[in-house]
Amino acid sequence: MSLDPVHEQKLRSHAVELGVDPDFAVAVGTQESGSLGPSARSAKGARGLMQVMPATSKEMAKKYGRDLARQGVAYLGEMEKKFSGLVDGRKFALAAYNAGPTTLAKAQARAKKRGLSPGKFSDVERFLPKETRNYIPLVLGNLVKPMKPITPAKKPVLKPALPPPIIGYPETLYGFPSRVRGPLIRTSSGSLL
């Protein structure tokens, strides 16, 4: 499942404009709408590339205009900023984006009530809806994989240089007398012809 290049570029442009990681926005958009693009609609009423719920769209339109893709990227950015101080801030942002900040806050309250840390995602995750628990690793899996760091190449093992081909007579080869008569030619591999 992937976005059409035109829609991907649209999300990337909005992300750059709004200060959101473009790869993160594309990963969410890919999971939310996939190949359906802006025509995607969910059974719950979410619409567009980023599957923005009507109530969220109404609120985001006040600051970011009517473009649903722009609203979704902006909302994702707000969620990411809200949870940026936490170790797993991106997972919390995805949980809030998918289930809503209120559902996430309730999960955090349940974790705290049980003596767990509301700021530790592994403690909160079990109290989130199953759909959200499944959603987060899917989005993270959509992120563009970073390239492996470039490591310096191993230094090549240098073989001793072979002497240049020698054309000559064996009796004068390297100044030693030889029993072989006639011209000799040394090949690049070092053997004599």
Residue pair 55/47 in contact by the 8 Å Cβ criterion: no
Per-residue exposure over 138-163, b if at least 16 CB sit within 10 Å of its own CB, e if not = ebeebeeeeeeeeeeeeeeeeeeeee
Catalytic residues, which ones?
32
Specify the pLDDT at position 147. Answer: 45
CATH 1.10.530.10 fits 1-82, yes or no: yes
Q: Write down the domain spans for the chain.
A: 1-82, 86-135, 162-193
Which of 131, 82, 129, 85 has the alpha carbon at shortest distance from 103?
A: 129
pTM of the full structure: 0.72
Q: Report the pLDDT value the prediction gives residue 37, as an integer from 0 to 100.
A: 75
Residue numbers in the chain where pLDDT is lower than 50: 147-148, 150
pLDDT of residue 36: 78
d(Cα 108, Cα 95) in Å, to the nearest integer? 11
Class of residue 20 by CB neighbours under 10 A (exposed 0-12, middle 13-18, buried 19+) = buried
pLDDT the model gives residue 185? 58
